[in-house]
Amino acid sequence: MSHSTSHEHASHGQEHGHGEHANHGSLRSYLTGFVLAAILTVIPFWLVMGHVFQSHWLTITIVLALAIVQILVHVIYFLHLDTRSEGGWNMLSFIFTMVLVVIVLGASIWVMYNENSLMMPMSQQANQGT
Amino acid sequence: MSSTAVDTAQSRFLCLEEPHAHNGTLLGFWIYLMSDCFIFASLFACYAVLGTNTAGGPSAAQVLDLHGLAINTALLLVSSVTFGFAMLEMSRRRKGAVLAWLAVSGLLAAGFVTLEIREFLGMIAEGAGPGRSAFLSSFFTLVGTHGLHVSVGILWLIVLMVQVGKFGLSEANIRRLQCLSMFWHFLDLVWVGVFSFVYLSGVLR
């Protein structure tokens, strides 16, 4: 680990020197990212194709949790997002986007699920009423 | 001293370590990618809502092929890593190696797009085209939008290979390669959502 951090510092020093070159990462960071991503890809495929769990919802929950972890791995090891690049604006815009994405996705699913489960009985009641 | 005044002014804006970027292209491109995130987020939301509305047609479990998906996923992930190798060679200023790794990445992505088009054509031939049900409409829109992004990325990659071949690793070409690198890794990141949410979770819903 100490090797990788010293390497990062070296690349940052270069960044200061040239001013405009962003952190390209190192061979180590790409290979670490690749191994982690491969593991995090194989597990969900195995869970679904091997029918490991009886409960579908348990499998879906684990698959989606692993996807979130893998997305973070991609962001850190492939896109080299850290709190220092571009004076912190990369990280700030990323966090902002993720908050809005969670709101868009979560609220859509929440609203439409409730609409599906609540509207049908209501329309039946309306039919019974008339 | 005016310089100390500037220093204290900068320290208030979280700029203790980093100088201001000389050009804002990379940050601007990053913000473009974030806006692209919204496009995909809304398409994911559509699929989440409509994914079970099969209108009596085939369900996700019946039409989606997980073996082909595994190959596609591997192609895109390896392509992302080989593009990383191209960027490493770029920082060592080795033009030939950059072009070679770019070609490998492009071929892997082309394999991905080819397999995806074959999958789409197979589904349409089976009567599971985008017009069949709300599930299939949202599926084709989401996966097709991603595939279109990858195709445009390949086109961009070819143009940049010609540029690098002709003008070498100039400052402008380095900046362009950095943007394409972000785009390339970003598409792999979106694919993680696609294979987890659309395919693996889709066949279980």
Is the separation of the CB atoms in B79 and B105 below 8 Å? yes
Task: Tell me the pTM.
Answer: 0.82
Q: What is the pLDDT of residue A19?
A: 37
Cβ-based neighbour number of residue B33 at 10 Å: 21
Alpha carbons B108 and B111: distance in angstroms, whole number: 5
pLDDT of residue B5: 52
| pLDDT value of position B21 | 57
**Dist CA B178 CA B34 (whole Å):** 16
Please check the confidence at residue A125 and state whether its pLDDT lies above 70.
no
The torsion of the CA quartet B151, B34, B203, A61, rounded to 10 degrees, works out to 150
What is the number of other CB atoms lying within 10 angstroms of the CB of residue A111? Answer: 12
Contact yes or no for B45/B64 (Cβ under 8 A): no
B21: contact with A, CB 8 A cutoff: yes
Chain B closest CA to A69's CA: distance in Å? 10
Output the pLDDT for position B147: 97
For residue A125, the distance in angstroms to the closest alpha carbon of chain B comes to 23
Using 50, 70 and 90 to split pLDDT, how confident is the model at A5? Answer: very low
CATH architecture of B49-204: Up-down Bundle (1.20)
Whether chain B has a CB inside 8 Å of the CB on A27: the answer is: yes
Query: What's the pLDDT at A23?
Result: 59
Identify the pLDDT of residue A16.
39
**Helix, strand, coil percent values for chain B (each to nearest 5):** 80, 0, 20
Residue ranges per structural domain of chain B: 1-35, 49-204
pLDDT score of A83 more than 80: yes
Report pLDDT for B55.
87
Residue with tokens 């902002």: A96
Looking at residue B11, its pLDDT comes to 54
Q: B192 CB near a chain A CB, below 8 Å?
A: yes
Interface of B with A in 98-127 (CB under 8 A): none
Cβ B22 vs Cβ A17: under 8 Å: no
Distance CA B78, CA B92 (A): 21
pLDDT tens-digit profile, chain B (205 residues): 445 555 555 555 555 555 555 668 888 999 999 999 999 999 999 999 998 888 888 999 999 999 999 999 999 999 999 999 999 999 999 999 999 999 999 999 999 999 999 999 999 999 999 999 999 999 999 999 999 999 999 999 999 999 999 999 999 999 999 999 999 999 999 999 999 999 999 998 8
Does the structure show a pLDDT above 90 at A88? no
